[in-house]
Copies of this chain bind each other. A is one copy, B any other.
Amino acid sequence: MGTPENAANYTAKKYRTPDGAPCDIVIFTIATVEAQIHKKSLPRRELQVLLIQRKAWPDEGKWALPGGFSMPTESLYESARRELQEETSVESPYLEYFNVYSTPNRDPRGWIISHAYFALVQESILANRRAADDAADVKLFSVDEALNTLHLAFDHHEILRDARARVQHKMLTTTIAREFLPEEFTIVELYQVIQTVCPDFEDPNFKRKVTATKTRQGLIEEARDDQGVKKTTNRNSQRHAQLYRFTDYEPIVSIYQ
């Protein structure tokens, strides 16, 4: 083996190369599952995931994560964003890479390394979704239902499980809760989003801590109108509740201090 001086001497494709580098996208939303009937109260909400029923080999008929093969002219993020827009037509998505899936023979079509992203989307944006041409059907499932009762295509069960774990972790350590909330929200709505994603989360003093505690000051702030008057809403109750908004501040948490 010599030391080639330039590209002309480089002999590519000496080895087998991958048969594709697709993206799979775990599109999460928090959906209202029980509308309030007559009484004013917080509706029940649950974490859902968008799945597509495959209409071609392999795993025809099974539910799968949306996705598709990436192209050499785009980065994987751009590819994922393109796929996401095809499904949801969301313009400025929360879209984050979280893992790669490369177990040999995970896809019968060949050596296919899949890149998994998750997206957080407001329920309202998924209202006008449409089926892509490679899918017989598109549907939102409760994540619990998808993991416990469906037989997903490929290794998508593992991908969905990993995605949920990642979102649960980020829900407690970052401010991604904002992706599931309107600009201005009440404390109870925030609390519900956290609990919907992290069922074990419980904190009787939540309101005090999130608003009054010095170390957390700056995380959220009271919403005010043009005159500086605090804004409230009574959409969830008879009594008006203070509206809050997230600030730009992203706290860093440490196990040591």
Closest-CB distance, A211 to chain B (whole angstroms): 11
Within 8 A of B (CB), among A92-124: 97, 99-100, 102-104, 108-111, 113, 115
Q: Is A135 an interface residue (CB 8 A)?
A: no
Report the stretch among A1-9, A36-44, A142-150 that lies at the interface: A1-9
For residue A229, CB closer than 8 A to chain B, the reply is: no
Contact B18 A255, beta carbon cutoff 8 Å: no
Q: Is the CB of A256 within 8 A of B209?
A: yes
A143 → B minimal CB distance (Å): 20
* A173 beta carbon closer than 8 Å to chain B: yes
Which residues does chain B contribute within 8 Å of A102, judged by CB atoms? 21, 70, 75-77
Q: Which stretch in A27-35, A82-90, A246-254 binds the other chain?
A: A246-254
B12 lies within 8 A of A110 (CB)? yes
Give the contacting residue for A56; candidates B3, B19, B55; CB below 8 A.
B3
Residues of chain B within 8 A of A100, CB atoms compared:
76, 97, 100, 115
Distance in angstroms from A151 CB to nearest chain B CB is 18
Cross-chain contact A252 with B172 (CB below 8 angstroms): yes
Determine the distance from Cα of A142 to Cα of B115 in the docked complex, in whole angstroms: 32
How many residues belonging to A are interface residues under a CB distance threshold of 8 Å? 62
Contact B104 A256 (CB under 8 A): no
- Residue numbers in B under 8 Å from A7 (CB-CB): 57-58, 108-109
Those of A58-80 within 8 Å (CB) of chain B? 58, 60, 69-77
Q: CB of A237 within 8 A of chain B?
A: no
Q: Which of A194, A254, A256 has the most CB of B within 10 A?
A: A256
Q: Given A16-B72, A21-B113, A69-B15, A253–B255 Cβ distance below 8 Å?
A: yes
Give complex CA distance A3, B219 in Å.
52
Interface residues of A in 199-223 (CB under 8 A from B): 201, 203, 206, 209-210, 216, 219
A60: nearest chain-B partner, CB-CB: B3
A10 touches B57 (CB 8 A): yes
A5 to B111, CA, bound (A): 21
A15 nearest CB neighbor, chain B only: B69
- Would you call A173 and B253 a contact (CB within 8 A)? yes
Q: Does A233 contact B (CB under 8 A)?
A: no
Does A238 have its Cβ within 8 Å of any Cβ on chain B? Answer: no
Residues of the B chain whose Cβ atoms lie less than 8 Å from the Cβ of A227: none
The 7 closest A-B pairs by CB, nearest first: A72-B111, A172-B254, A253-B253, A76-B102, A251-B255, A18-B18, A75-B102
